[in-house]
Copies of this chain bind each other. A is one copy, B any other.
Amino acid sequence: MLAITASCALVVSSQDIATFVLHDFAPITMVRTHTCGELRRDHVGLTVTLCGWVQRVRNKGGLLWLDLRDRYGVTQLIFEEGNTTPTLIRQARELGREYVIKVQGLVMQRNASNPHMLTGAIEVQVQTLEILNTAKTPPFLIEVETDGREELRMQYRYLDLRRPPLQNNLVLRHQVMQATRGYLNQQQFLEIETPILIKSTPEGARDFVVPSRMHPGQFYALPQSPQTCKQLLMVAGFDRYYQFARCFRDEDLRADRQPEFTQIDCELSFITQEDILTIFEGLVKYLFQHIKNVELPQFPRMAYAKAMQLYGTDKPDLRFGMPFVELTHLVQRQGLRVFDEAALVVGICVQGCAGYTRKQLDQLTDFVKQPQVGANGLVYVKYHSDGHLQSSVDKFFDQAQLTTWAEVLQAHPGDLMLVLAGETQATRQALAAVRLRMGDALGLRNKVQFSPLWIIDFPLLEWDTATQCYHARHHPFTAPQAVDVPLLEKQPEAVHANAYDLVINGMEIGGGSMRICNRSVQESLLRIIGFSPEEAEQQFGFLLEALEYGTPPHGGIALGLDRLCALLGSEESIRSFIAFPKNNAGRDVMLKAPAPIAQDQRQELGMEAIKKLS
């Protein structure tokens, strides 16, 4: 397209300048010819150079085998009297675990190939050996299974990361990122970076803040998400945006939460909610297909209210059934006070567990009574295989009545029915915990089985009893459903949102919403959730103003990359999919951060740290 009006011609014409090419262009002289995961039977007879870490040495006197490891795999090296010089054998004997070496040698076919190794058909007969670096004995085993405790492995994360499971996890994360981009790029999405140094907002979790040296007393905030920036990109007409967005939340860390995390952050214009669900269902299917070779079925959709009713949670694990059945009207007015006083009586049918022992049932009762589950007790009905029904409430309910329960709960001989009663939300939450526990007990929560679904029709607002104020369930930019807009002022809690969550195996993998595109609706919503007009203007003035300059209909979604990788990797902890995670106290124990900073640095920032009062 554009011609290079060769500056090099100029250069070469001047003798003085021609001399600056000091180095001839060497051909690529890669230090190694192959990786440790590459050699196969086809390479037999080839002289190769490999580099890597000494995984293990087996010394049989005149015969030594050495497993050489790199990111790509393990290759067996062989040192053999007769074929190898005594010096070289002596050198090899002195190698320690995790030494970094470079060897040249001949690829040989093995007598008996090892089917468990990708390179198991060959070994390399070493001709030269160079120690590139030595290694102290690592503080824990660098093997698939290690003996290091968590804190030690976090401190030496760079050694833990050498272990194949963690290597594979980061490779998987790389693949997820590339496949996601491939899918979105193909659908005309543009990858656009938004700033990390933005403005603090009082909504949602706590912000991390950054004091400004140039503007003393003022602070940037790190984004909890690029929400407002991506909406402005839609106002700017970018149509389809994505970003692997680093997000920051200064929360009291629970297990497996990170103060910084990555989300696949997307926003689209000129689309409907249906379009968004279709495109991102497509993305998730593509990832499972591409990364795991798993074909996911069409994702079912469930209204929030239905999910709460059937599973007691907006994150139902659908790898198994065991739905809730409400028994309230069936069981009340029979003299059992705990039922009669309950807002909700609700049960599940656990297949094949009629044989549960007294002890097992006591354990279950203890489980539901734990503070984090919070029920007062558990009612059970065993449907014995002989048809007899035995319950913990036999005094109040006869066989005929219990038979009706069984019918409603779709229980059959051999099944166990579990029933809780109490305040609606708490009871649902407690039974949801029981359901998951029974799913675990029955082995119904298989890590290599995947059950996605969309939760839709969320309530727009929630009443917060602590602050005596409504707050936005998703975020304050979520659009109310059109039919519910008239309710916004009079009955805010009844308004549904155009919001959706993607749930897989009981985990929220992502969520999003259609956005408010109108200044006055946005102002109403901010007012309802407690912003004065002045506060709204101060915090979100730029967005309110942008809504007046030709905002297209738009919506978006964000998927949690760390969680998605953990799911695809069939592991529990997101930390295993982050190169350098923080611990539960928000510390990087390897770098030793956070840490005190110098006095002059604090002064330069116009601030002083106050010592914690002990």
Residues of B within 8 A of A262 (CB): 193
How near does chain B come to A188, taking the closest CB pair, in angstroms? Answer: 8
Q: How long is the Cα–Cα vector from A380 to B208 in the complex, in angstroms?
A: 59
How near does chain B come to A287, taking the closest CB pair, in angstroms? Answer: 14
**A612→B606 contact, CB < 8 A:** yes
Q: List 26 A-B contacts (CB under 8 A).
A: A7-B318, A14-B323, A16-B325, A20-B300, A22-B301, A30-B271, A30-B272, A30-B275, A98-B550, A102-B270, A133-B550, A135-B549, A158-B233, A158-B235, A159-B549, A173-B192, A195-B588, A196-B196, A197-B582, A198-B593, A209-B210, A209-B597, A210-B594, A211-B211, A216-B610, A607-B607
- The reply on A136 being an interface residue by CB < 8 A is yes
Residues of B within 8 A of A71 (CB): 237-239
Q: How long is the Cα–Cα vector from A609 to B199 in the complex, in angstroms?
A: 17
Q: What are the interface flags for A262-296 relative to B under an 8 Å C-beta threshold, 1 for contact and 0 otherwise?
A: 10000001111011001000000000000011111
- The reply on A161 being an interface residue by CB < 8 A is yes
Q: How long is the Cα–Cα vector from A216 to B550 in the complex, in angstroms?
A: 45
Report which of B2, B218, B582 forms a contact with A594, defined as CB distance below 8 A.
B218
Residues of B within 8 A of A218 (CB): 594-596, 609
Closest chain B residue to A96, Cβ basis? B550
Residues of B within 8 A of A278 (CB): 28
Task: Pick from A217, A248, A591, A608 the residue with the most CB of B within 10 Å.
Answer: A591
Q: How long is the Cα–Cα vector from A548 to B177 in the complex, in angstroms?
A: 33
**B7→A319 contact, CB < 8 A:** yes
Other A-B contacts than A31-B553, A98-B550, A158-B546, 7 sampled, CB-CB below 8 A, are A8-B451, A17-B310, A26-B274, A193-B579, A206-B601, A208-B210, A217-B609
**A300→B11 contact, CB < 8 A:** yes
Q: What are the interface flags for A223-237 relative to B under an 8 Å C-beta threshold, 1 for contact and 0 otherwise?
A: 000001100110111
**B159→A236 contact, CB < 8 A:** yes
**B22→A303 contact, CB < 8 A:** yes
- The reply on A598 being an interface residue by CB < 8 A is yes
Known contacts A219-B597, A274-B26; is-contact A8 B588 (Cβ 8 Å): no
Q: Which 9 A-B pairs have the closest CB atoms?
A: A135-B550, A161-B236, A1-B293, A199-B593, A218-B594, A7-B451, A98-B550, A212-B594, A216-B612
Task: Pick from A98, A133, A611 the residue with the most CB of B within 10 Å.
Answer: A133
How near does chain B come to A49, taking the closest CB pair, in angstroms? Answer: 10
**A197→B593 contact, CB < 8 A:** yes
Known contacts A23-B301, A197-B259, A301-B23; is-contact A13 B321 (Cβ 8 Å): yes
Q: What are the interface flags for A213-257 relative to B under an 8 Å C-beta threshold, 1 for contact and 0 otherwise?
A: 111111111100000110011011111000010101010110000
Report which of B215, B221, B310, B548 forms a contact with A135, defined as CB distance below 8 A.
B548
Stretch in A396-404, A412-420, A442-450, A483-491 touching the partner: A442-450
Q: How long is the Cα–Cα vector from A296 to B158 in the complex, in angstroms?
A: 39
Known contacts A21-B301, A23-B456, A196-B196; is-contact A5 B449 (Cβ 8 Å): yes
Question: How many copies of the shown chain assemble into the complex?
Answer: 2
How near does chain B come to A216, taking the closest CB pair, in angstroms? Answer: 4
Closest chain B residue to A238, Cβ basis? B71
Closest chain B residue to A590, Cβ basis? B542
- The reply on A302 being an interface residue by CB < 8 A is yes
Closest chain B residue to A192, Cβ basis? B579
**A31→B542 contact, CB < 8 A:** no
**A51→B209 contact, CB < 8 A:** no
- The reply on A573 being an interface residue by CB < 8 A is no
Residues of B within 8 A of A591 (CB): 198-199, 228, 542
Residues of B within 8 A of A612 (CB): 216-217, 606
- The reply on A332 being an interface residue by CB < 8 A is no
